[in-house]
Chains A and B, each alone.
Chain A
Amino acid sequence: MTITQQILQQLINGISLGSVYALMALGYTMVYGIIKLINFAHGEVFMIGAFIGFFSITKLGMDFFPAMFTAMIFCAILGILMERLAYKPLRNAHRVAALMTAVGLSMLFQNLALAHSWIGASAKGFPQVFPLQRFQLMENVNISSDRILTLAIAIFLMIALQFIVHKTIMGKAMRAVSLDKDAARLMGINVDKTISFTFALGSSLAAAAGVLFALNYGIVVYQMGLLPGLKAFVAAVLGGIGIIPGAMVGGLLLGVTESAVSAAGGSMFRDAVAFAALIIMLLVKPTGLFGKNVREKV
């Protein structure tokens, strides 16, 4: 295996892993953009999405795509409920109060999953829904059918999101609210509805990411949201939090870096890479790759 082949192989692995991070990072970035809150429970929405997909396939006998769609719908509703019940009452409270609520929600979901008799502590095998095929692109450079599928779905969802944000009325409202909540309200935009819609969108993307992650790694477990959730947040910061294209680029960048590090023999430090990247980014350019310096007005 030559160096070029190895680089290409890791690039392929990294892009497919990165597309999952990117899908999740979109949820973080949209929510942060609109209400300036790090939604710590986002990783758990990812986990719940994966489990809904898993149970839809194993218990209800659904095909892969309907199962993923079910997970997305379920998590969209979950996202709306979460926002309405837990975050909305705290919209004008101190920042730390909302953050702690988010951490509390994340712990709550994780431990409810742990205590649930269907889920429990042990990891479960995600069924191989599509027969695994490997396509040889070059000598020693392979891509599996699951990876292609992941990438295709991720790209499709990102294009759909771009369409929603830029071409629909609701998307316009989202952009307006994230720019200036009060001015948007004066223009007759229903701010509460827009925020709920943003949560629904972000959560459904996280659910899709969860199902795709489970498909690729073949397992579902109650803690699966923790590390991908943190990494997706890092991806969002890398691209510039609040900026949608930034989250996509940040996710891909993080995925590729991670694959490169584990290929270079540092698989033990794979999980530490994301945080090293975060700290370096915060030191060098805290606003992220695509971020602009915004003056804070008082």
Chain B
Amino acid sequence: MAKRFSALLQFALVLALGYAIQMAMDAGMINRYYAHVMTVMAIFVVGAVSLNLINGICGQFSLGHAGFMAVGAYTAAIITKNPDLILPAIFTGNVRFILATLLGGMTAAFVGFLVGLPSLRLRGDYLAIVTLGFGEIIRILLLNWDFVGGASGYFGLVRHTNFFAAFLLSIITITIIRNFIQSSHGRACVSIREDEIAAETMGVPTTRYKVIAFVIASFFAGTAGSMMAHLTQMVTPASFTFILSIELLLMVVLGGLGSITGSIGAAIFLTYAAEALRAFRAYRMILYSLLLILIMLFRPKGLLGTQELSYGLLKESFKSLRTRWQRKKNDDITAAAE
């Protein structure tokens, strides 16, 4: 009971922090450009953490996360822009936006189920190709769908997303995915990553767990897409390309495959880096792909590996540093004595 209370307290404190930042933004203490960048960071945290569930925790390889964001973004945009389509007109304003975001996520989850089931049944790398192809198909379909504006995109959305909304979504995503990982279902997913054959032999229904993880990740990708759409007030097929999938992948890899805190840190860092390197835009993707290759060659598990960045880890590494230093000092003393 005390544990649950302390968790709730933590949750409330974090939300209060987010709300305080939002207040500071509204009061003009944080300039609008930084407010925008911080909101984008929060959205990318959702994207990266959910992708980590597939690529890091389950050991599968999805290349179509941007496609699921696109599904969520377009679904939500259609709902908020047409007051009596899909949802009854009694829902308006932010309530409609929240419901639209949820529905966007659910549509993405459903599509994720359809895409994931045939490819996750098999061992091997089919998921990578199928998701890559899926991203392309979504883009082609959207380009040819006149109802949502085709190639020029879907314009004139109301700006529902503010920092607090994106922040809240990222906190919810992190909480749910962290709890999932620490549950028995999450352990099953980790066992699939470590050795799929062994997991199957021990009676883990591998396909089912892979699909569950994939659907959860697709859901959050969809909600992130909706947030993004209502932040930039438009969606175009060009907003969710393969390049976005690669950026998300790099966030996961940079932070460590399987490390939630790593993904959060990397999402924040890379969003910031993308803004800071705006002048070198043409070379950004070259840098990203080189970074991806080099990390894989020298640290195949990502920078943090599966470890979580926490107070305990810092203390641990500090302690090990100190013992090493102590030992070295002792060695020096004995060497000097001899």
Contacts and interface: CB of A to CB of B under 8 A. Distances in A.
Interface stretch (A2-10, A69-77, A97-105, A247-255): A97-105
Contacts of B144: 268
Given A94-B59, A282-B122, A298-B197, A100 B292 contact: yes
A264 interface: no
Given A108-B286, A111-B286, A38 B125 contact: yes
A115 interface: yes
B249 A230 contact: no
Interface stretch (B10-18, B33-41, B127-135, B317-325): B127-135
B118 A104 contact: no
Interface string B282-305: 110110111011001100110000
B253 interface: yes
B289 A107 contact: yes
A101 B293 CA distance: 5
Given A107-B246, A268-B140, A298-B197, A100 B133 contact: no
Contacts, number: 119
A110 B288 CA distance: 12
A38 B128 contact: yes
Given A101-B296, A268-B144, A278-B133, A115 B286 contact: yes
Interface residues of A, number: 45
Interface in B254-294: 257, 282-283, 285-286, 288-290, 292-293
B176 interface: no
B61 interface: yes
A282 B292 contact: no
Residues of B contacting A: mostly:
helix
Contacts of A97: 296, 300-301
A169 interface: no
A134 interface: no
B229 interface: no
A96 B129 contact: no
Contacts of B253: 100
Interface string B52-67: 0001000111010000
A230 B286 CA distance: 21
Contact of B282 (A93, A94, A101, A115): A115
Contact of B136 (A86, A110, A271): A271
B109 to A, nearest CB: 18
Given A38-B128, A96-B257, A103-B249, A271 B137 contact: yes
A36 B249 CA distance: 22
Contact of A275 (B134, B285, B301): B134
Interface in B124-176: 124-126, 128-130, 132-134, 136-137, 140-141, 144
Interface in B93-131: 115, 118-119, 121-126, 128-130
**Interface bracket on B:** 35 or more
A110 B289 CA distance: 10
A222 B251 CA distance: 25
A104 B197 CA distance: 28
A93 B297 CA distance: 9
Contacts of A105: 289, 293
Contact of A107 (B115, B141, B257, B285): B285
A17 B129 CA distance: 21
Interface centre among B129, B197, B249 (most CB of A within 10 A): B129
A187 interface: no
A115 B283 contact: yes
Contacts of B300: 90, 93-94, 97
29 contacts: A38-B128, A95-B125, A96-B60, A99-B125, A100-B61, A100-B292, A100-B296, A101-B292, A103-B249, A105-B293, A107-B289, A108-B289, A108-B293, A115-B283, A230-B136, A237-B129, A268-B140, A268-B144, A271-B136, A275-B130, A278-B130, A279-B115, A279-B130, A282-B118, A282-B119, A282-B121, A286-B126, A296-B197, A298-B197
Interface of A: 36, 38, 40, 86, 89-90, 93-101, 103-108, 110-112, 114-115, 226-227, 230, 233-234, 237, 268-269, 271-272, 274-275, 278-279, 282-283, 286, 296, 298
Given A271-B136, A286-B121, 4 more contacts: A40-B128, A90-B300, A111-B286, A282-B119
